[in-house]
Structure 1
Amino acid sequence: MDTLEQPNLTRYASLLPDTGEPGFGVYVHWPFCAAKCPYCDFNSHVRHQPVDQERFTAAFLKEMAAMRQLSGPKTVTSVFLGGGTPSLMNPSTVSAILDRIAREWHMPDGIEITMEANPSSVEAERFRGYRAAGVNRVSLGVQALNDRDLKFLGRLHDVEDALKAIKLARDIFPRMSFDLIYARPKQTVEEWERELREAISYAVDHLSLYQLTIEEGTPFFGLHKMGKLVVPDDDQSALLYEATQDITAAEGMPAYEVSNHARPGAESRHNLTYWRYGDYAGIGPGAHGRLTRGPIKLATATERKPEAWLELVERDGHGVLDQEQLGYDEQADELLLMGLRLTEGVDLARWQQLSGRDPDPKREEFLLEHGFIERIGNSRIRCTPSGMLILDSVVADLAC
């Protein structure tokens, strides 16, 4: 398969540089998809009648005003339009959402504004409409680069559609990323290495590479339980993960997070806000948020069902069902859980300030001796590649 022509990387300069601070993000959830993938447990819904976009747009704007009241004045450092399939939105819907974000908060020019898109819903005219609305980064759900596995994963596009979408995204947007799923049934390390190298030849600056997981409540879960779907065992999955790290590092796209790889400076600013434990407003059906007002950090969660959320917003001004004040211990645990996913690690002083204590010296020494964590100077701690393979256990040990 031919490699796509390499783009002009100098145009990235139009986006503001990463300051290293957590920042403040705005996440907007478009919950609708053309089809539900059999591995997906995200809050996505298929509707066989056209969605009333004007009505949903009005509800997004209304809930945004409520979130602004909770957050207080903030400077937005990133916006993420996720789903579902946001590329099913009309460009006018995207424009209205971005315009209102800029009215509710301070939104400087040059911040990262990402939209998720599926190759099957990509059209040049629609992409240009999103770009005109202000989107400057697109994240494509490619998932595989062979038609057999795309069919297995329930995707509506084929490889030809995927390559067309990648080319369009590269031509229209300053930044582009795409997702792949690996550790698929019967996938060998050699097959994955070839596919990954092919992906890197198409990628501009960022790849998200996820191991296939079997989530309860999905069609794949039922098939797996009946023995009709067999995924690679832990040893094979570890080999696939290690091959992923080796190849991306050698190609100049090392991991900056467990599943995310980028050329230096091209990391996802919005996702870094999550992993650096910054604040973010979650707007739309099933969206979550973290909002700090003085000493209080609020965890918010909205109604998941789109039509029920819509009715709540129209009645009450928002669809928030859960609003919990997080204590310092809970915040410290979340900081560890998110921050240890990053290769830059966790700011120990920030963790100590929240938790009111130092890491347990015996537990830390055990993890250090076994090569699961390492210190970065005196100020940060991070997982090693071996530690990333048992990340949940490392977090549990340090949080105790």
Structure 2
Amino acid sequence: MPPLALYIHWPFCLAKCPYCDFNSHVRAKTDVAQWQAALLADMAHEAALLPGRQLTSIFFGGGTPSLMPPALVAALIEAAGRHWTLAPDIEITLEANPSSVEAANFAALAAAGINRVSLGLQALDDQTLHFLGRLHDAAEGIAALEVAQRHFARVSFDLIYARPGQTPEAWEAELTRALGFGTCHLSLYQLTIEPGTRFATLVREGRFTPLDDDAAGDMFGQTRAMTAAAGLPAYEISNHARPGEESRHNLTYWRYGDYAGIGPGAHGRRLSTATVRHRKPENYLRAFAEQGHGIVEQRALGLREQASEALLMGLRLREGVDIAALATRFGLDAGALIDPAKSAFHARNGLLREDGLRLVVTEAGMPLLDGLLAELVPAELVA
């Protein structure tokens, strides 16, 4: 049977960052025992529908899962091991805020079974961290990174670039410093103004102006060149790693594998079915009390919709997608997956290439990925 990934969402944060549109909530207190019961029941519900699978990765996302008591993390990992077979080299990642308080839990989290941590540094200077609404300062963040590197075999951290007024020279200096920390993985995201966020309101009010698209595009190319030269090439549009250190969990998403998602707002894809959990923590707990799990929506995915999702995810990767294999997987003609005329046109312009049996977006094409996908995937496939 194909392997499985497990995503566990912890929705709570100490504060809501102004750029964040993730499902995160600020609450004065949480009933840990109640949340443990709900998450364990949610996991058991998924396990009953996915028996006999090997679990290759667990990912604790949020929110701020580093706020979870290590004992709760250990209980969830132990339960996953009862429900499924854990791969010998299973990757167990936890997203963490780089505060001194949370870093103090890193040893206990490692003892609980976490073997990979992803730190939300976001920037390396205090002024930018204040602009981004982060609660840590630069020195605290770097200290937390050092603690993480002592306790976890694999460490990644996030940075946000293409910020208002940021110059290529400033980003070069910041990224050079980041690469010097010696982690095996970096997630480097352009600042985007998401609807419904505090930043969207500030932009609408004229309080600041986002960096223009041309400047952001230049920084995207600069980023990929610098990480490649440092031995951490981009393997996905925003993720960079030393060979063999790619996020196995995220690769499951991008390669369109099965994953169970539990916790408030978590999405899942299992056995050709899409699942969505209640977003609001209180609604999630109410659903748990009423039905024993947190699902608010589940629906069967048609073959054409699955093929579309697989293409939209897979073309984000440096490895691209095997069109013939996808066609066989979903019982469709290869010509129905990708518009052959558009594919040939973009290949002539250097934005696509064929690499053996795979269709790959080139370095020149990656900055234009959204537009390419809109043209390449036929409308009748995504309708």
The TM-score range, normalised by the shorter chain, is: over 0.9
CA distance in 2 between counterparts of 1:122 and 1:92 reads: 16
CA distance in 2 between counterparts of 1:338 and 1:166 reads: 30
CA distance in 1 between counterparts of 2:369 and 2:152 reads: 34
Name 1:100's counterpart in structure 2: 79
1:42 aligns with 2:17: no
Letter of the structure 2 residue corresponding to residue 356 of structure 1: L
On the 8 A contact 2:67/2:102 being kept in 1, the answer is: no
1:129 aligns with 2:92: no
Letter of the structure 2 residue corresponding to residue 235 of structure 1: D
Name 1:5's counterpart in structure 2: none
SS state of the match for residue 370, structure 2?
Answer: helix
Question: CA shift at 1:231, angstroms?
Answer: 1.2
SS state of the match for residue 108, structure 1?
Answer: strand
1:266 aligns with 2:245: yes
Letter of the structure 2 residue corresponding to residue 374 of structure 1: R
Question: CA shift at 1:357, angstroms?
Answer: 1.6
| Deviation readout 1:78-126 (Å, 9 max, x if unpaired) | 0000000000010100000000111111113321000000012644541
On the 8 A contact 2:185/2:239 being kept in 1, the answer is: yes
| Deviation readout 1:176-224 (Å, 9 max, x if unpaired) | 0000000111000010010001001013200000000000111100111
Q: Aligned match of 1:356 in 301, 308, 332?
A: 332
- Where has structure 1 moved over 3 Å in runs of 4 or more? 121-125
Name 2:280's counterpart in structure 1: 305
Structure 2 vs 1, CA of residues 303 and 123 (structure 1 numbering), >3 Å: closer, same or farther? closer
Name 2:290's counterpart in structure 1: 315
Q: Aligned match of 1:151 in 113, 116, 130?
A: 130
Name 1:330's counterpart in structure 2: 305
Report 1:1-400 matches (<5 A). Answer: 23-48=3-28, 50-120=29-99, 122-292=101-271, 297-353=272-328, 354=330, 356-358=332-334, 359-377=338-356, 379-400=357-378
Name 1:17's counterpart in structure 2: none
Letter of the structure 1 residue corresponding to residue 315 of structure 2: L
> Structure 2, unaligned stretches of length 5 or more?
379-383
Percent identical residues: 53
Question: CA shift at 1:311, angstroms?
Answer: 1.5
| Deviation readout 1:5-38 (Å, 9 max, x if unpaired) | xxxxxxxxxxxxxxxx984210000000010000
Question: How big is the alpha-carbon RMSD for the aligned residues of Structure 1 and Structure 2?
Answer: 1.3
CA distance in 2 between counterparts of 1:81 and 1:137 reads: 10
CA distance in 1 between counterparts of 2:280 and 2:110 reads: 29
SS state of the match for residue 216, structure 1?
Answer: coil
Question: CA shift at 1:394, angstroms?
Answer: 1.6
How many residues align structurally?
374
On the 8 A contact 1:87/1:121 being kept in 2, the answer is: no
CA distance in 1 between counterparts of 2:209 and 2:366 reads: 24
CA distance in 1 between counterparts of 2:41 and 2:5 reads: 18
Structure 2 vs 1, CA of residues 121 and 313 (structure 1 numbering), >3 Å: closer, same or farther? farther
SS state of the match for residue 266, structure 1?
Answer: coil
Question: CA shift at 1:352, angstroms?
Answer: 1.5
